[in-house]
Amino acid sequence: MVSGTATGAPPPLASLMGEGPVSLFLDFDGTLVELAPGPDEIKPRAGLASELGVVSTRLDGRCAIVSGRGLDDIEKHIGPLPVAGAGSHGSDVRAADGTQLGDGAIGLPAAIEQRLRVFAADNALDYEHKPHGGALHYRSNQEAGPAAHAFAKQLADENGWAAQSGKCVVEIVAKSANKGAAVRAFLGIAPFAGSRPFFLGDDLTDEAGFAACIEAGGAGILIGDREETIATYRLPNVTSVHEWLNL
């Protein structure tokens, strides 16, 4: 990864839209909602789903959630999504009408999941089952982070899967699952095709989304103060994202 500028705020969304068709790809945790100690402890703002629908309407449907969470899990917290979505790190991609793009999420083999659960229990970590894999969360026991990453990488390598790192989490996912692949899938279909894409995200896994947007003539917008990134722009926090989107 090379360092981008990411030193200033992006131009106002209305200004970008005035230059031609724009598409937005939005991470969920740490971008649209504040991070929480555990994945089920988030507190999304009231009406978030309907507000995203308004943003999508302004963009003629060119708005999508691209998250490590499963789409069903996101809907559990904010209600039915009125926009396109890619959950499970891009392994479950759906158009706004629910049409599946690609083969859908690949479930983690039971033997791998069992080893993750045992490791989590033995090391005071939180295990999260996902449609596409499994995650070890160590926000409540950060000293165990290095061991969690080493264990997940070895387990993934042994079984032909991939280990992805995030903020106080490491996940085992299918090798084909990443947010850049999801962005490229959307950009190949209407209404996203031919637009200038922007990806908003805070985590390391969002860098693949930034890269896909840069390749297509757009940019990445990093949320927070992480330094190493290929993003062009930066917004400081979730509140500033809401303001930039005019929620």
Q: Which residues are catalytic?
A: 27
Indicate left, alpha or beta for 178 from its phi (over 0: left) and psi (-120 to 50: alpha).
beta
Q: Tell me the backbone φ, ψ of residue 29, rounded to 5 degrees.
A: -65, 130
Report H helices in the chain.
13-17, 48-58, 71-78, 110-122, 145-159, 179-187, 207-215, 238-244
Where does residue 137 rank: exposed (0-12), middle (13-18), buried (19+ CB within 10 A)?
Answer: buried
d(CA 209, CA 198): 9
Contacts 24+ apart (CB under 8 A), 163-168: 164/68, 164/89, 164/204, 164/205, 165/204, 165/205, 166/68, 166/203, 166/204, 166/205, 167/30, 167/35, 167/139, 167/202, 167/203, 167/204, 168/137, 168/138, 168/139, 168/142
Q: Which residue has the tokens 């926000």?
A: 139
Q: Which of 132, 122, 202, 145 is nearest to 173 (CA)?
A: 132
